Amino acid sequence: MAPIQFGILMIPYQMLDVAGPVDILSTSSKTLLASYEAAGIPGMAGLSEKAIDIEFHHINTTMDPVLMTANINLVPTTTVDSCPPLDYLLIGGPDPVTFKLDDRFADFIRKHVAAGKGVFTTCTGGLAISSSGVLDGRKATTNHQALEIAKQLRPQVNWVKEQWVEDGQFWTAGGACAGMDMFSHWVAKHYEPEIAALGLAGLDFEPRDIEGKRALRAEQVV
């Protein structure tokens, strides 16, 4: 099976909105577990064959760096014009007051959705892409502090106050850490429990359930 092609849209997002979810995937990846196996770490034999085979693409409208929060400049790996076909697209959360979705990003998102591919948003990423119209008629969430703003700006979306929401090809999460919760459950849903558990243990992270009310041990994610 070909590797998952996973894109991250390089709008000026809050770092944890993307770094957290991507690390959830990376710590459960074939590349990392194969390196553990090659190093002879006990208990790793054969696990890489069950792990996530994934390639990441950081997508901008140009190849210019993008300034994220905490004064971190990130360099894209591809553009909206040269990006290979994706299986999934992740959009982190920008400042909801000042951000406006670039038309080229909006077109890129619409084409991705029209192809039936998956979309993840974290924090205000849901609000950020809502202007493209792809969430209209869908149940979705965004950072809960921005929910009322979202309802005013895009009433066509069924905005709800939940930890994360799965609606068809869309997975939308609340704040940054809710995005990590959501991705933990996504990994557990699509891969064997030992892969999810190993990745979470590597981060020393215990995701919450969908109501955000209790911590889950890695083996309880499913």
pLDDT tens digit string along 197-211? Answer: 989 998 999 999 888
Q: Which two tokens stand for residue 86?
A: 């994706």
pLDDT tens digit string along 100-131? Answer: 999 999 999 999 999 999 999 999 999 999 99
H-helix segments, 53-209: 103-114, 125-130, 147-153, 176-190, 193-203
Q: Which two tokens stand for residue 111?
A: 């084409």
The confidence band for 43, taking pLDDT boundaries of 50, 70 and 90, is confident
Compute φ and ψ for 15, nearest 5 degrees: -55, -45
The whole-angstrom separation of Cα 46 and Cα 24 is 20
- Break the chain into its structural domains and give their ranges: 4-122+179-199
The pLDDT value given to residue 145: 96
CB 82 within 8 A of CB 108: no
CB proximity list for 173: less than 8 A, separation 6 or greater: 120, 121, 122, 123, 126, 141, 163, 164, 165, 179, 181, 182
The pLDDT value given to residue 221: 56
What's the CATH superfamily of 4-122+179-199? Class I glutamine amidotransferase (GATase) domain (3.40.50.880)
The pLDDT value given to residue 215: 59
Tell me which residue of 166, 98, 129, 171 sits closest to 9, measured CA to CA.
129
The pLDDT value given to residue 172: 99
pLDDT tens digit string along 58-109? Answer: 999 999 999 999 999 999 999 999 999 999 999 999 999 899 999 999 999 9
The confidence band for 142, taking pLDDT boundaries of 50, 70 and 90, is very high
User: Using H for helix, E for strand and C for coil, what is the string for 124-149?
Assistant: CHHHHHHCCCCCCCCEECCCHHHHHH
The confidence band for 1, taking pLDDT boundaries of 50, 70 and 90, is confident
